[in-house]
Amino acid sequence: MNQGRLLTNAERARRHLTSDTNCKICGGGPETTLHVVRDCPFARATWADLLEDEPDSRFFEQDGQRWSLYYLSGKSNTIDATIFAGTCWLLWKNQNDFVFQDKLKTHTQVQFHSKQLRDEIIKAFDQEKTVFGTGGTREQRLVGWQPPAQDWVCVNTDGSVNHSPESTSCGGIIRRSDGRFIRAFTANLGRGSITRAELAGIVYGLDLAWEQGVRKVLLQTDSATAKSLIENATEQHIHFSQISEIRRILQRDWTSIAGPLVLRTLAGGLEPLVCRPVCSITTLLHYSHLLPRNLDRLSRFVRPELLVRGNPLFLFIINLLRCFWS
Ligand SMILES: [Zn+2]
């Protein structure tokens, strides 16, 4: 993505990056954004399977503008906004993986991922819980929580920045695979960065699970930054002491340990579309420059914080909308 555009082959050709405007997957073309996310035979097969129970003849006929707005705003009874957004994203990602890394999934795999995302969101929505009880300062919604496979224990952690007074905190919850609650925790960390808070949450969460005798743990964090730091950071990093502490904990004698999960990041990205659809759509339209100026009233639903933490899915949709409307 570059300057608000999804860089399709057609776009790359226009910029003389390549002379080939055809789609790399089907050889047809030109490989426009709409081709990649809908009209390519690969994408068509994916959508057709998703629409199997209730065929929607208009789905493949609308122009990109109407199509994207109609399905994103949840007006369709056949495909809801989360599946729509998630599938567009997965198709787009699939195309990029193929073009740049020679990896190609089957459309059944893409479709499976898209349904998995949707299930994950629904589960999370059902299991919305208040973590901070007595003396707690805020409610926390655990998005994207997914029960781990049998006899695993799931540790969800999160960090947050509170602006008044300026301070950071972390929290988490430890549950068995059947959803039974083990422990929850929260800690005030004083001034600091969100990354430090995310990392602190992981340290507390894993340590607490260990103390409770847990030896098979699935760590879930929605912080892609924390995940990447745990995997890659070197001694020069300002949070290295925390990172190495996490690495030491991970090396303990756990029977098994998995995560942090990448999928959860994407499900977390879709979650606002389910829980706060009006804010989500208004925010997407606002940042895509599509919010009609005469509808000033709507601007109070714009939530910059939905993008603040670099929600990759929202950024993708904004780019997608800009492509169709410019
Ligand atoms: Zn194609």
Phi, psi of 171 (to 5 degrees): -155, 170
Whether the bond between 260 and the residue before it is cis, its omega within 30 degrees of 0, is yes
Q: How far is the CA of 105 from the centre of ligand 1 (A)?
A: 14
Q: Count CB atoms within 10 A of the CB of residue 67.
A: 19
Cβ(279)–Cβ(301) under 8 Å? yes
CA distances from 257 to 53, 149, 158, 272 (A): 39, 12, 18, 29
Q: How far is the CA of 31 from the centre of ligand 1 (A)?
A: 6
Q: What domains are there in the chain, each with its CATH number?
A: 9-123+304-325 (no CATH), 153-264 (3.30.420.10)
pLDDT digit string, tens, across residues 130-143 = 322 222 233 333 33
Torsion of CA 79, 80, 83, 84, to 10 degrees: 70
pLDDT digit string, tens, across residues 216-225 = 887 877 677 8
Cβ(183)–Cβ(212) under 8 Å? yes
What's 160's DSSP letter? E
Q: How far is the CA of 261 from the centre of ligand 1 (A)?
A: 30
Q: How far is the CA of 46 from the centre of ligand 1 (A)?
A: 12
Q: How far is the CA of 9 from the centre of ligand 1 (A)?
A: 11
Residue 258 pLDDT grade (very low, low, confident, very high; cuts 50, 70, 90)? low
Cβ(242)–Cβ(197) under 8 Å? no
Q: How far is the CA of 44 from the centre of ligand 1 (A)?
A: 9
What is the model's pLDDT at position 52? 75
Q: Tokens for 302?
A: 């714009």
Q: How far is the CA of 34 from the centre of ligand 1 (A)?
A: 10
β-strand 153-162 against 216-221: which pairing, if any? parallel
Handedness of CA 1, 72, 27, 10 (dihedral sign): negative
What is the model's pLDDT at position 310? 60
Q: What is the mean pLDDT of residues 153-174?
A: 78
What is the model's pLDDT at position 130? 30
Q: How far is the CA of 41 from the centre of ligand 1 (A)?
A: 6
What's 40's DSSP letter? S
Q: What is the mean pLDDT of residues 73-79?
A: 77
Q: How far is the CA of 35 from the centre of ligand 1 (A)?
A: 6
The kind and range of the H/E element at 221 are strand 216-221
CA distances from 261 to 32, 154, 217, 253, 293 (A): 31, 11, 12, 21, 40
What is the model's pLDDT at position 315? 78
